[in-house]
Amino acid sequence: MSLTIILLWFLAFSCKNEAPVVKKNKRKPNILFIAIDDLRPELGSYGSEIAQSPNLDKLASEGLQFNRAYCQQAICGPSRASVLTGLRPETSGIYHNYLKIRELHPDVVTLPQHFKNNGYESVYYGKIFHHGDLDDSLSWSRVPGPQPKSVVGFALPENQQIREETRKEMFTKYGDVAKYGLAMGPAYESADVPDNTYSDGYNTDLAVADIKKMAKDSDKPFFLGLGFHKPHLNWVAPKQYWDLYDEAKIPMTSDSIPPENGAAMGLHPSFELRVRSGIPKKGKLDPELSKTLKHAYLACISYVDAQIGRAITALEDAGIRDNTIIIVWSDHGYHLGDMGIWGKATNYEIATRVPLMIWTPDMPETKRGAQTDALVELIDIYPALCELAQIEKPEHIEGLSFVPLLKNPKQKWKTAVFSQFPSPALREWGSYPLRPAMRETYFGPLIEKVETKIKSQQKQKWNRDLFENKLMGYAMRTEQYRFIVWKDQTQLQATPLYFELYDHKNDPDETTNIAPKNPELVAQLLSQFNEEKK
């Protein structure tokens, strides 16, 4: 063998066995974290026969939609606290809107804080945490400045005047208690104004500009929270979104009465809506007003949907859509006359079930557009985003990452999910315990009427302190059933005061509590509840 051949053979062998080229680590994915206030699954992708929601429908068609996702408490503050801390309300102790996260848990690592601590630029626009927790300095790299005076609650002068006159009247008549929401102005508004006249459009402007800036100038991945106030009351939206609907064709609920044998303490007198001007302070709403209110709610959905479309387009225009996880969730559902009430704040399906969808760059192409019927909870978002970003999960979080469902949406999953709410009938909006002064307002007769129903049903079990301050309803949703256990929270080992059981196979609208006629099934579900809720 010649020297030349030996040399060529040696060079060839060396090239085959040289050390591999080390590729740089792929930049971690951005997170677009979209929170929507008071949105039940009233979207086209969820089967709504009326909602105009093309951008969310498109996102669902490209990602994964969760058909059975549930909040941990159907009110803004506790629900958002559970999502953002990873702690259930029972663990955090946050049961109403006036409890602040850092006051109870000064050292808890929140979801945006955890991403910030792991190299992310963490920013937000709109409502992510509940009011009072919004500008948490530990959670955000920076916070937005104050909104200009051009961003208004009401655009029409007549509605601004109604709000101010009502405030004066309420404070004159009731004193300081009026500051707890007795004068909120009209329930709705349709004004021919640009989208950024209201806060959701304005905040989207800021988010779009920041997406472009961070994509261009920052060497960090970002966690961007974009929180929409609508469709929370007041239902104000630009006229163009009202015009998407023919009010005469808007369908209304067929289930407008409380469940048969349902817990008398399980439904409230629609406090939150009744503080609005033009809404009857007692009695049922007339059909015409009810339809207008649902029209207003739908207009707000379409308004928010348009803003979400703009944010996603901004990702595409900046060339970063392919490395951005997009997740959309609502903090709870909403009764629109369902069971005879308006608002959230119950333990029923209509208040606890929420829209949840996610789009990820690495989701298998064959699974894009899939829907899953797996039972999931909003508390599962925190560990799921950690897993998708390949960030170690904090030890304190209590949810279960739903990432495996992106690859196999039909696999076996949780057998039950849990929500809770303290005695909705005897709480103010925001789940706050009744102040004595509230009984002296126009809510007094409503409260007395509710109390009469509870006393009639609960008989010797009635105790004012218990039912106003200590009673907790715990809801367990399984494949087939909604099971609600009413307990004295100070004596959790004691026999529950009342049970509710709804069979979703035969009664999806939860019209009849079958617990009294099915003691064996109640015992079986109570055993499951006690075991799985631990």
In whole angstroms, give the CA distance from residue 494 to residue 472.
13
In whole angstroms, give the CA distance from residue 156 to residue 439.
33
130 is known as an active-site residue: yes
Beta carbons within 8 Å of 175's beta carbon, 6+ residues apart? 437
Instruction: Specify whether the CB–CB gap between 247 and 354 falls below 8 A.
Output: no
Instruction: Give the burial class of 202: count Cβ atoms within 10 A of its Cβ; 0-12 exposed, 13-18 middle, 19 or more buried.
Output: buried
Q: Could you tell me the two tokens for 63?
A: 């990602």
DSSP string over 364-402: -GGGTTEEEEEEEEGGGHHHHHHHHTT-PPPTT------
In whole angstroms, give the CA distance from residue 304 to residue 229.
9
Question: Shortest CA distance to 479 belongs to which of 450, 446, 502?
Answer: 502
Query: Active-site residue among 96, 105, 114, 130?
Result: 130
Instruction: Specify whether the CB–CB gap between 242 and 50 falls below 8 A.
Output: no
Q: What angle do CA 326, 330, 331 make, to 5 degrees?
A: 130
Residue 417 sits at φ, ψ, to 5 deg, of -130, 160
Q: Is the dihedral of CA 89, 95, 100, 103 positive or negative?
A: negative
Query: Active-site residue among 71, 76, 300, 386?
Result: 76
Residues marked as catalytic: 76, 130
